[in-house]
Amino acid sequence: MESDISDTEARLALHSIAQRRQQVIAEIDLPSWYWVSLAAGWIALGVLAAYGPAWATIAGTLAFGAVHSAFAPRILSGRHASPLLSVRKDMVSRHVPTLVLAFLIVMTVVTVAFALIAHADGTRHPALLASVVVAALVLLGGPNLMAFMRRRAAQRLGAS
């Protein structure tokens, strides 16, 4: 059975495919609770550093890292932002986990640097202040990093 497709029907079909592709690209993200949990954990570590004994700060840091490493392999792929849709692996850059982890390392360095500067300035609880500042940066910067990755995916898929 042969059927001819008109130019209009073909354009509509291609437009529909492009729209669906954009909807899938929009799903490239990390769950919103990830950034909030990360920021809350950062502040909790700052509270421990400011008010707790050294052993609690060390234990909290190790626990924070262990919990993060338990969830990170699935979350950091960028493919599971919602439980309703899992983005195909070939649509998401394999660099997403590397970029997110690099962002977290930079935020760790910023925390230490900000705390040292605040301490040198005589701030009463420099680690807590630094953790609040960096938690805000995580809440703002993390989603912006993922928006950057979505733009790159759209460019890459638009070129193919």
Q: How confident is the model at residue 66 (pLDDT cuts 50, 70, 90)?
A: very high
What local confidence, expressed as pLDDT, does residue 77 receive?
63
Task: Decide if pLDDT at 25 tops 70.
Answer: no
Using alpha carbons, select from 145, 154, 156 the residue that is nearest to residue 106: 145
pTM: 0.74
Domain ranges of the chain: 7-159
14 in Cβ contact with 146 (< 8 Å): no
Q: What is the pLDDT of residues 73-89, one digit of tens each?
A: 777 765 555 555 555 55
**Neighbour-count burial of 23, counting CB atoms closer than 10 A to its CB (0-12 exposed, 13-18 middle, 19+ buried):** exposed
Tokens of 38: 């990360």
CB atoms within 10 A of CB 47: 17
100 Rama sector, left if φ>0, alpha if ψ -120 to 50, beta otherwise: alpha
